Amino acid sequence: MSISRERISALLAAGFLAAGLSGCATSTTANGNTPNGAARRGSSTAAGTVTVFAAASLKATFTKIASEFEAANPGTKVTLNFAGSSDLATQISQGAPADVFAAADTKNMAKLSDANLIDGTARNFATNVLEIAVPPANPASIRSFADLAKPGLKVVVCAPQVPCGSATEKVEQATGTTLKPVSEESSVTDVLGKVTSGEADAGLVYVTDVRNAGGKVKGITFSESDQAVNTYPIATVGSSRNKELAKAFIAMVTGSEGRKVLSDAGFGTP
């Protein structure tokens, strides 16, 4: 059976069109991402570096999440920078190269958002509350938040501008207790360090910090902690050079994998 020249031309045109569509469906950009830049879970096409600025209290959990993200997206690298949320917000506002910002409170996130330094809207992904950290033997016999006001007690807290410091002030106001700390630290990990090194009788940190410290400290819970629940937001930084990869990392933090890591560490849901 003969085929007309017009029929052959039509078949060839259809073949070229199908090949073109197939090529579009599988093509990648120069940096290895899919055309819209989105990292694909478990895919080798996602590539590049995402720099994450995160609150000090997220160090253990974000280190684990970053490892899972890199494993799920071969070719990617997550660079982590941990510090007090207020310090990180200042660094970003001064032009520090960051793709993602995860704060330990909404106040510091709002500072960047109000300055138009955040891309889109931040997402709340976790909550945390304070707990008293003391040496394992608890030599000062601390039993309550009010005990922290005992004369001569060496208490360490976060500075007021740091989320854990702001939470401490809220609890003081709610309980009518005034603390006289021997030092105010720039991050919650610094507070914990003072306790574990024996430089303080007690420190106000987060529940998650006590859990992560293992047997290095003993945790003293107090009912008034619910007066100062800290909510953790996360967002893409406006100046990010890899926004799609940043969004993919945020998706993991807020997704089932991230929620499990955070829950296991003692974080609450927002």
94: helix, strand or coil: coil
Question: Could you give the C-alpha distances from 256 to 125, 250, 252, 268, in angstroms and in order?
Answer: 11, 12, 7, 14
Q: Which residues contact 155 (CB under 8 A, 6 or more apart)?
A: 148, 179, 180, 181, 182, 200, 201, 202, 203, 204
Among 237, 103, 222, 227, which residue's Cα sits nearest to residue 161? 103
Confirm if 181 and 191 have CB atoms less than 8 A apart: no
How far is residue 188's CA from residue 60's CA, in Å, rounded to a whole number? 13
Strand 48-55, strand 230-237: pairing: unpaired
- Asked whether residue 85 is marked as a ligand-binding residue, the answer is yes
- Asked whether residue 50 is marked as a ligand-binding residue, the answer is no
Half-sphere exposure at residue 247, Cβ-oriented, CA atoms within 13 angstroms: 15
Burial of 95 (0-12, 13-18, 19+ CB in 10 A): exposed
The answer to whether the Cα torsion of 96, 101, 107, 113 is positive or negative is: positive
Q: Within the chain, where are the H helices? A: 5-26, 59-72, 85-93, 106-114, 163-175, 188-196, 207-213, 243-254, 256-264
Feature table: binding site: 57, 85, 188, 206
Feature table: binding site for molybdate: 57, 85, 188, 206
